[in-house]
Chain A
Amino acid sequence: GDSVTQTEGLVTLTEGLPVMLNCTYQSTYSPFLFWYVQHLNEAPKLLLKSFTDNKRPEHQGFHATLHKSSSSFHLQKSSAQLSDSALYYCALSEQGTGSKLSFGKGAKLTVSP
């Protein structure tokens, strides 16, 4: 079945350093990939989603590139901010099955001064 793997459980960074959170996936068909962010005491919300035309999605300084050859959709940001501290979930939706979204285990990012 479909699955999403996030290898980092906890990530601690100093403000200003680059961020990279890994996401790899297994899927039978060509899936759509998403990054959701959940700040403390808030609901998860969409950060980025993959495009069908290979464009690189960007939002709030974050970007991610879907690499079908390596089945990856890593999240990156050039310079971490204190406000980026949150839980980040990579998620997968398989084409033709809009009713099921599979989430990775999540990565807790803590940015310190």
Chain B
Amino acid sequence: AQTIHQWPVAEIKAVGSPLSLGCTIKGKSSPNLYWYWQATGGTLQQLFYSITVGQVESVVQLNLSASRPKDDQFILSTEKLLLSHSGFYLCAWSLGGENERLFFGHGTKLSVL
């Protein structure tokens, strides 16, 4: 069975500090990977997606970057956090294809103070 694990579960960070969030998918080879951001009470905004190792496409610019160093790993990072980065970050995977469902991780709650 496939599992998706996100870390950390929660972070409290200062404005201007760096950030690194991770996501690992086990049990599935070459999945499509996604990062979504959800502001408190807000919708799910797609940030990045990756179809293969080493390739990441940006959907929106939020002063964040993403990398896929391994087939089963997706990293979201920034060197300088902004207050507006606060929210819930969700990693997801799919088999690819327009009718394929997304499987979400449990997310990371980020508070920037």
Contacts and interface: CB of A to CB of B under 8 A. Distances in A.
B105 A43 contact: yes
A81 interface: no
A98 B96 contact: yes
B33 to A, nearest CB: 10
A100 B59 contact: yes
B57 A42 contact: no
A31 B42 CA distance: 23
Interface string B34-46: 1000000011111
Given A89-B43, A98-B94, A32 B106 contact: no
Interface residues of B, number: 25
Interface residues of A, number: 27
B44 A89 contact: yes
Nearest to A89: B44
B49 interface: yes
Interface of A: 31-32, 34, 36, 42-46, 49, 52, 89, 91, 93-106
Interface of B: 32, 34, 42-46, 49, 51, 57, 59, 90, 94, 96-107
Pairs A-B, 8 closest by C-beta atoms: A43-B104, A46-B101, A103-B44, A98-B98, A98-B97, A93-B98, A105-B43, A32-B99
24 contacts: A36-B102, A42-B106, A43-B90, A44-B44, A44-B102, A46-B101, A46-B102, A49-B101, A52-B99, A93-B98, A94-B98, A95-B98, A98-B97, A98-B100, A99-B32, A99-B49, A99-B51, A101-B34, A103-B43, A103-B44, A103-B45, A104-B43, A106-B42, A106-B43
